[in-house]
Chain A
Amino acid sequence: MSDQDVLVLAEARGDALADVTFELLAAGRELARATGGQVLAVVLGPNGAAHAPALAAADRIIAVDDPQLAEYSPEPFASALREVVEAEQPRAVLTASTSIGWDVAPLLAARLDAPLATGCQAIRPDGDGLLVTASFCGGKMLAECRVAASPAILMMLPGSYRPTDETGKGELEQRKPAAPLEPGAIAFEQWIYPEAGDVDITQQDVLVAVGRGIQQQDNVELAEELAQALGGAVCASRPVVDQGWLPATRQVGKSGMIVKPKLYLALGVSGAPEHQEGMKGAELIIAVNTDPKAPIFDVAHYGAEVDMLDLMPALSEAIAARKG
């Protein structure tokens, strides 16, 4: 235990760890190398110890089990994490910007009166504090922030660090909370899975993605025609799904699907970090947006600064002409 340690909250999804956990471990290793501390991975839930081999990048793996951790619920998870943080007194706690991270990190920060930074892309020591580069305003702005107090609770933006092959000591410690965890007022009831029958966008070679630039539901038909011409399917960024214009099964991004098609045609999609998280693995990305500063152009291979509504019919026609 050292006040220079970096604690990483590992997220388990079913039998596996979430990919972002390995990015957090890489960030943790880099920071711990600079601070001279160790990397501690905390995994909450009944099968935590089973994840130990996958958490080999950590020096210590703390698996906490309690009946209340069997399924996710904010109060037991935040309480269990708080107990570990209070015992270990790390310099930084790294969580992911995920559904669980957005609950647990601020609750932990509030209860410990500890600093919290969201959208973190890079961290480095700065004297007694930390310097954090964080993304905000939908990825259109970066902020360099100084976090003076410990532990700094840092919510890392997925994709900011590459998973590392580096390994730590990998020592497993299995713990139970000092007192059985209370269920709290919010209880998990059941998982709800998307209805089968819709197109599985994760299996498509060609995706035509529509964002806010689609403007209204009637225009989705233009995208459908283009997708049909290309032999693919239509997907969307979150605002389009929020409007109810396409089902949640078509949403790409942090809270939607992770896709890796051969072609991702992003039309009127700004490319916020949350969206990029779901599509930047595509083999070919072509982005169309009227805003020349749209972050989507930073990950696209080709771009065009035109109105998607004007381009879609022209592109459908050009594709049809190519096909003869």
Chain B
Amino acid sequence: MNIVVVVRQVPDLIEPLEIVPSGDALDLDAASFILNESDDHALEQALLLKEAGGGSVTVVALDFGDVDNTLYTAVAKGADRIVKIACDGDTPPAPRDSAAVYAEAIKPLEAELVLVGVQAHDELDGGLSPFLAAALELPYVGVIRGVKADDAPGTVAACKEFPGAVMARMSVKLPAVLGILGADQPPRYVPVSRIRGAMKTAQFEESAATLAAGELLLSVSRLYPPAPATRAEMLSGSEEEIAGRIAEILAEKGLVK
């Protein structure tokens, strides 16, 4: 199966988020970037499908942030091809605008299956994956946790997650785009030595796709951190003192007898 995976860089939420002086955007110069978590799962799912049934995995990304390292890591994990799309400016485009450029880059790859993380935490105007499906004119289903080759040729079985740990098994005729929430198994660890090896041997392919900003349908006027509605009463002291205070609170409420 010829699988294409889209990977994106997102601000690392472990680090503090800063806002530009105009107040309407994140200060990306002050942010550190990591691979979008559900994209990491999309890559893992693609590699699992390749290992189970053969084929190839091509990873496509906008040339933004620390994408080179992400793409080399993908090769070290087992990806066959890595494609970069030039991205002018310091700010990556919104999902809706970027869907068209990803589609332009992906079309020549003749993918049977396109996997994208179902959500990136810095998106405000919807997930990339359904807009990409629309741009590619391919069917779409998202919130997928696990994909397997189906008995019927040209189809895969995808598990769509619903509340209460309930899944719906969906039969997907290919080609299609799937929005991945989680892979059948956690993203694999790859030793640094293999990533270094990939850096020496892997070749980027540059996509000629170009970004054209679409009509502005959603404009951000202000960003701000949420004010807590009710803030927790904070306990202070050493770990032992805090543990003692928690035990006391639980005893007061009859939760420790």
Which residues of A are interface residues toward B (Cβ below 8 A)?
Answer: 13, 71-75, 98-99, 102-103, 105-107, 109-111, 114-119, 134-149, 155, 184-194, 205-206, 230, 239, 241-244, 247-249, 251, 254-258, 262-263, 270, 284-287, 291, 293, 295, 297-307, 310-311, 314-315, 317-319, 321-323
Taking CB atoms, residues of chain A closer than 8 Å to B107 are none
B197-252 contacts to A (CB < 8 Å): 216-226, 228-236, 239-240, 242-244, 246-247, 249-251
| 8 Å CB contact of B163 from A106, A206, A256 | A256
CB within 8 Å: A-B pair count:
266
Q: Find A115's partner among B182, B218, B231, B249 (CB 8 Å cutoff).
A: B218
Q: Are A115 and B125 in contact (CB under 8 A)?
A: yes
Partner of B232, one of A106, A140, A300, A307: A300
Q: How far is the CA of A319 from the CA of B235 in the complex (A)?
A: 17
Q: Is the CB of A311 within 8 A of B141?
A: no
Given the known interface contacts A136-B123, A141-B26, the answer about A301 and B232 at a Cβ–Cβ threshold of 8 Å is yes
Q: Are A284 and B11 in contact (CB under 8 A)?
A: no
Q: Which residues of chain A are near B96, meaning CB under 8 Å?
A: 116
B contact residues around A255 at 8 Å (CB): 143, 161-163, 181
Q: How far is the CA of A193 from the CA of B170 in the complex (A)?
A: 14
**Chain B residues positioned under 8 Å from A249 (CB to CB):** 165
A-side contacts of B69, CB under 8 Å: none
Determine whether the beta carbon of B11 is less than 8 Å from that of A303. no
- Contact between A302 and B11, CB atoms less than 8 A apart: no
> Is B159 part of the binding interface, using a Cβ–Cβ cutoff of 8 Å?
yes
- Which one of A110, A135, A256, A306 contacts B130 once the chains associate, using CB atoms below 8 Å? A110
B139 engages A302 (CB within 8 Å): no
| Ranked 8 nearest A-B pairs via Cβ | A303-B232, A115-B217, A110-B134, A106-B130, A314-B243, A300-B232, A318-B247, A185-B139
Pairwise interchain contact A137-B11, C-beta atoms closer than 8 A:
yes
- Residues in B with CB closer than 8 Å to A306 are 239, 242
The contact string, 1 if C-beta is below 8 Å from chain A, for chain B 113-126, is 00000110111111
B127 near A: Cβ within 8 Å? Answer: yes
How many chain-B residues does the 8 Å CB contact rule pick out? 86
Interchain nearest-CB distance for A63 vs B (Å): 22
CB pair A323–B234 under 8 Å, yes or no, is no
Chain A nearest Cβ from B148, distance in angstroms: 12
Other A-B contacts than A106-B126, A144-B221, 10 sampled, CB-CB below 8 A, are: A98-B163, A107-B140, A110-B135, A138-B13, A144-B223, A186-B140, A186-B170, A194-B164, A242-B182, A315-B246
Interface class of chain B by DSSP: mixed
> B133 contacts which chain A residues (CB < 8 A)?
107
Q: Does B172 make an interface contact (CB < 8 A)?
A: yes
- Tell me whether B226 and A303 are in contact (CB under 8 A): no
CB neighbours of A144 from chain B (8 A): 220-223
Q: Is B243 within 8 A of A134, CB to CB? A: no
Q: Can you sample 18 A-B contacts with CB below 8 Å? A: A102-B142, A103-B143, A110-B131, A116-B96, A141-B17, A155-B126, A189-B157, A189-B168, A189-B169, A192-B166, A230-B255, A242-B186, A284-B255, A293-B225, A297-B228, A314-B242, A315-B246, A318-B240
* Closest chain A CB from B112 CB (angstroms): 12
Bound-state CA distance A150–B142 (Å) is: 25
Q: Which of A99, A243, A263 has the most CB of B within 10 A?
A: A99
- Measured between beta carbons, the chain B residues less than 8 angstroms from A230 are 250, 255-256
CA distance A205 to B253 in the complex (A): 13
- Complex CA distance for A109 and B217, rounded to whole angstroms: 11
A191 to B121, CA, bound (A): 29
Residues A102 and B127 in contact, CB atoms below 8 Å apart? yes
| B8 part of interface (Cβ distance < 8 Å) | no
The answer to whether A137 and B171 touch across the interface, beta carbons within 8 angstroms, is no
CA distance A191 to B229 in the complex (A): 39
Interface centre among A98, A145, A270 (most CB of B within 10 A): A145
Cβ distance B248 to chain A, nearest Cβ, rounded Å: 8
Which residues does chain B contribute within 8 Å of A117, judged by CB atoms?
124-126, 218
